[in-house]
Structure 1
C-alpha cells in the first residue's frame, strides 16, 4: 500500500533500535504480536538493540525480562538511560565521588558500577545529583536533591518523560518528578541523558557498526524526536503513548518516517505507511479511494480504502498549515477508518 521495500520495511535497514515500554511490552506483559515480530527479525538476521529511558532496571535485568517474555536478548543489546547517566558522571567526576541518587536501586547500582559512591543525603556533600524514575521516589528524596543542587551539585536527569504507559493508562513519569524539582529550584537540569537526546541511538549505532538504523517507538516527544535529532528514520507504532491525534498535531521535529498500528509493520508492507514530512515529495501518497479536504482548522475525509492510506493523507493535510481542531467523515467508510485511527468521525 506504500513505498516500503517489497520484502518489508525492515529490509531497508541494518539495525532496528526498539523502545521498550509501549512498543515491546506494557510494564511486564508483552504487547500482542511483539514476540513474533522480533522473532521474524531474528530469522532475517537483522541486528537489534533496545534503548529505553526507564532507569529503574539495569541492562541485564531488562535482558532477563525480555527473554522471560519470549524475546531473547543479551545485556549488550540493551541501552538504558541509567547506565548512560552513570557513564557521563564517571567521565566528569573523580573516582569515588559522592553522587546523590534519586531513583530506583538500579540507578544506584549503575552509579556504583561506574566507580562512584551513591549517597542519599545532601549532608554527604555530593558532587552531583542524578535523577531517574523510581516508584518509591517521594518528597524527602526531592528535598535532599534540592538542597544538594542549591549547594552546587551538578544535576543530571536520566530522562524527562512526562508520563509512562501502563495497562490502566498513562502514569506520571520521571519528567513529572523532574518538573517538581525544577519548580522548586527555578531552573532545569544541567544535563538530560535519555531520549529525545540522541545519545542512546548514536551509542547503539556505534556498538553495532550500523550504517542505517531504524528507530521504533511509541512516543513522539522522546523516541521520534530523538530519531529526528539524530538524523535517523523512525517508525511510530500506535501501541503506546502517542496516538493519531498527537501525530496530526506534531511539529516537524516530532514527525516519524513511517507509522504502523503495531510491529507487524516492520515486515508486512500492507501494515505500514510512509507519512509526508515536506521533504520526501510523494512518499506519503496513498492509493486512490480517499479524498481529504481542509477548510480552515477542519479536515474532512471521504471515500473508501485502507485506514493507514487515509492516515498519510490526513497527515499531509494537517501539516500543510495551522492547527487542526476537527477531523470529520463524509462517508460510512470514512467513519470506520477514523474509528480505526481512534479519531472522532
Structure 2
C-alpha cells in the first residue's frame, strides 16, 4: 500500500528510481495499491498521472479517501440515499460508485460528506456547517492540515474540518489515514495476505498502519527528516526504514545492540554527550536503519532525542532495481 506524494512522486515529478523499483516489485509478485488521502481526483485520473511518470497503474489499483468515505456511508445508508456533497469530483464519483446520490448541500440528505475541492464555495461551507450543527451525520474524507502544491504546502481539508468542528461542536467520522477505513478498504479491494503500508509521513502513513494492525515501511524521500525520525516515540515507529522504494526489495540487515552501540550492515551508531555519531561504511538504507535504531535507543533511555545536526546521510550511489 503505497502513499503517493513523497513516496512515488514529489509534486509533478517521479521520485528518482521509483518507477523501476515498482516494476521490479510487481515482477517479484507483489501486488501494488496506490493509497491517497487526497479526495479531489478520481482514481482514473491518478492512475493516468502515474502512467505518465512511467509507473504501471490502472484505476482499480488506486484507492482514495473519497472511496473509503463512500464505503463508510454505504455501510450506514441504503442504495439511492442522498448525501450532501462538500467536495470535488473524486467524492462525487466515489459516492455514485457505491450507489449513493450526491446532492448539493442545499437539498435534503441523510448525511454530509466533505473532502478537499479547489472550487468549494464559502456559501456551501456555511450551509454544511449549519446542517452539521443541527444534527446531520458527517463523514470527512481526511483530516490533513496541509496539501502539497506547486507554490508550497497549502491549507488542506483538515483546516476546513477544524473550522466546521469549531462551529458545530461535532467531530466527523474520518475515513482517511491515520484512521482505519482507508487501509481497511484497500485490503478489502486488493486482497493482500501480508499488507505493508509504505509512506513518508509519520502522522498519517505510519500511524495509519499501526491503527490498522499492518507493518509499515518509512521511506526518507518525503517530508520526514532525520531529526523527526530519531524523535519518534515508542508506539509510533515504523516496522522498517529505507532510503527509498528500493527498500521493498533489499534485505534489511539485523540490528545488533552492544553497550549502547548499534551496528547495522557495516555502520556503527551511538549517542555520545547527546550527539548521534555514525562511523563505518555500507548501504544507504542501512545507514538510515542505524541512525533510527541508535536514536530510538537513546530516546527511550534518556527521554530526549539526540542531536543530529552534524550528521549527513551518505550520498546515494546510482543503482538499478535488483542491485
Give TM-score scaled by structure 2 length: 0.84
Question: How much has 1:125 moved relative to structure 2?
Answer: 2.9
Query: Given that residues 259 and 274 in structure 1 are in contact (C-alpha distance below 8 angstroms), is that contact kept between their aligned partners in structure 2?
Result: no
Which residue number in structure 2 is paired with residue 322 of structure 1? Answer: 303
Question: How much has 1:139 moved relative to structure 2?
Answer: 2.9
- Of the structure 1 ranges 140-149 and 165-174, higher mean CA displacement relative to structure 2 is found in 165-174
2:277 aligns with one of 301, 325, 329: 301
What is the CA–CA distance in structure 2 between the aligned matches of 1:193 and 1:251, rounded to whole Å?
25
2:46 corresponds to 1:62: yes
2:208 aligns with one of 210, 213, 226: 226
2:182 aligns with one of 175, 197, 200: 200
Which residue number in structure 2 is paired with residue 213 of structure 1? Answer: 195
Which residue number in structure 2 is paired with residue 313 of structure 1? Answer: 294
Query: Given that residues 301 and 328 in structure 1 are in contact (C-alpha distance below 8 angstroms), is that contact kept between their aligned partners in structure 2?
Result: no
What is the CA–CA distance in structure 1 between the aligned matches of 2:278 and 2:67, rounded to whole Å?
49
Aligned residues: 308
CA deviations over 1:81-134 (Å, ceiling 9, x no partner): 11121122122123333322111122122223323232223x423221111112
- Of the structure 1 ranges 206-215 and 41-50, higher mean CA displacement relative to structure 2 is found in 206-215
Q: What root-mean-square deviation, in Å, do the aligned CA atoms of Structure 1 and Structure 2 show?
A: 2.8
Which residue number in structure 2 is paired with residue 39 of structure 1? Answer: 23
Question: How much has 1:26 moved relative to structure 2?
Answer: 2.6
Are the structure 2 counterparts of residues 82 and 328 from structure 1 closer, same or farther at C-alpha, using a change threshold of 3 Å?
closer
CA deviations over 1:149-181 (Å, ceiling 9, x no partner): 122211101111122334554332211221121
- Of the structure 1 ranges 309-318 and 43-52, higher mean CA displacement relative to structure 2 is found in 309-318
Which residue number in structure 1 is paired with residue 320 of structure 2? Answer: none
2:98 corresponds to 1:120: no
SS at match of 2:297: helix
User: Which one scores higher on RCO, CA 8 angstroms, separation ≥ 6?
Assistant: 1
Give TM-score scaled by structure 1 length: 0.79
What is the CA–CA distance in structure 2 between the aligned matches of 1:339 and 1:232, rounded to whole Å?
31
Counterparts of 1:48-197 in structure 2, within 5 Å, are 48-121=32-105, 123-166=106-149, 168-189=151-172, 191-197=173-179
Question: How much has 1:252 moved relative to structure 2?
Answer: 3.0
Are the structure 2 counterparts of residues 287 and 31 from structure 1 closer, same or farther at C-alpha, using a change threshold of 3 Å?
closer
2:1 corresponds to 1:20: no
Question: How much has 1:263 moved relative to structure 2?
Answer: 1.0
